[in-house]
Amino acid sequence: MKPRITDSTKNASNTKPKIADVAKVAGVSPTTVSRVLNNRGYIGEKTRTKVQQAMEQLNYFPNDIARSLFIQKTYLIGVIFPTTSNPFYGQLIFHLENIAASMGYKTLLCNSQGREDKEKNYLKMLQRNQVDGIIAGAHNRRMEEYDIPSLPVVGVDRYLSENTPVVSSDNYDGGTQATQLLVNKGCKHIIHINGPISLETPANLRRKAYEDTMRENDLTPHTYEVGLDDQEKIIEKLFDENPRVDGVFASDDIIASRVLREAKNRNIDIPSKLKVIGYDGTETTRLLLPELSTIQQPIKEIAEKTIEILIKQINGDNGDVQLETMLPVTLIESETT
């Protein structure tokens, strides 16, 4: 039988119900309600059901802040990335949030827009909110703010500090596979497009792999660096300065798509005159641009490994945590090569 709300337990002033109100409706003590909320000690199923029904009738929700002070854990994870508009970050954040939620954690998402000041402010905000850990893949160079002894932190494709674990795909192998594919297809004038080398990220290994593979095949490497705001301008410059270009390895699929568009504008046939391969292989890109050859990152597996390492840190289990974890990539050959 469900507990009933009597006139004496109705809240005429519309103030939020308290534990004492739940206890009165359920016919138990406030201590018992507290034990149900915190899952402490033995509670009979009948008593637990009465308390839960009383909470539902009163529309009572536990105070997570007060509960976190009691158990010294907030079950909050901070997530800092440059943007959610990039398909790679969007898909990665989706998996991070989904996996965290399945483990009882909520995520606080922060878009730094590549700005160091926003990144630092978000770090302070997350610490003020007593998050249990932070996952970051922001674009700024190593910042001492990430080297927080008491706070678990994991980087995704970014070196955050000397002591912070980082998870990424095997960027060197991906760069090697992409470049060697173009070489095998007969390309002689292959250009690589990458982000600024000043960014301290494992993704720079894509560039190193490209350069190594080119030299191993007696070819001359040529890399163009692009930022977030000058990609179209740099790609136009690439074509203007290199009329003999017959292969492009772009460091992500967005850049690759812009190369394809510029080639179309210049009436350069793909793939007979120019072969193009990208990097990331997100679900969105595969749906909208299935003809693009690319190196597919194991995005879900990256998210799973990142959460696994962070939870180990949160639980104080740092014994077998590696500082760098690289997961295998997959070559997807399609119509652009």
Whole-angstrom CA distances from 173 to 198, 205, 210, 247, 269 are 21, 9, 10, 19, 28
Whole-angstrom CA distances from 107 to 29, 40, 126, 131, 307 are 34, 25, 11, 9, 12
Amino acid at 81: F
Q: What is the pLDDT of residue 115?
A: 79
Q: Which of 15-24, 112-121, 156-165 has the highest mean pLDDT?
A: 156-165
Q: How do residues 267-306 score in pLDDT, each as one tens digit?
A: 999 999 999 999 999 999 999 999 999 999 999 999 999 9
Residue in the structure block whose two tokens are 């299935």:
290
Q: Could you tell me whether strands 223-225 and 247-250 are parallel, antiparallel, or unpaired per DSSP bridges? A: unpaired
Question: How confident is residue 144, by pLDDT bands cut at 50, 70 and 90?
Answer: low
- Asked if residue 319 has pLDDT above 80, the reply is no
In this prediction the pTM is 0.79
Q: What is the pLDDT of residue 12?
A: 41
Whole-angstrom CA distances from 234 to 98, 164, 222, 240, 248 are 37, 34, 13, 10, 13
| H-helix segments, 116-220 | 116-128, 171-184, 204-216
Q: Which CATH class is domain 171-298?
A: alpha beta
Kindly list the domain boundaries of the chain, sorted by start residue: 7-62, 72-168+300-328, 171-298
Whole-angstrom CA distances from 280 to 9, 150, 285, 291 are 58, 33, 9, 14
**CATH domain 7-62 topology:** 434 Repressor (Amino-terminal Domain) (1.10.260)
Lowest mean pLDDT among 122-131, 157-166, 313-322: 313-322
Outline where DSSP puts E strands in the chain.
76-81, 106-111, 133-136, 153-156, 166-169, 190-194, 223-225, 247-250, 275-280, 293-296, 324-327, 330-332
- Asked if residue 333 has pLDDT above 80, the reply is yes
CATH number of 72-168+300-328: 3.40.50.2300
Q: How do residues 61-87 score in pLDDT, each as one tens digit?
A: 766 555 555 556 788 999 999 888 889
Question: How confident is residue 311, by pLDDT bands cut at 50, 70 and 90?
Answer: very high
Q: How do residues 181-221 score in pLDDT, each as one tens digit?
A: 999 999 999 999 998 887 778 899 999 999 999 999 999 99
Whole-angstrom CA distances from 277 to 39, 68, 128, 218 are 53, 48, 44, 20
Question: How confident is residue 142, by pLDDT bands cut at 50, 70 and 90?
Answer: low
Topology alike, domains 72-168+300-328 and 171-298 = yes
Whole-angstrom CA distances from 59 to 32, 281, 330 are 18, 45, 50
- Asked if residue 93 has pLDDT above 70, the reply is yes
Contact assessment for residue 222 and residue 242, using Cβ atoms and an 8 Å cutoff: yes
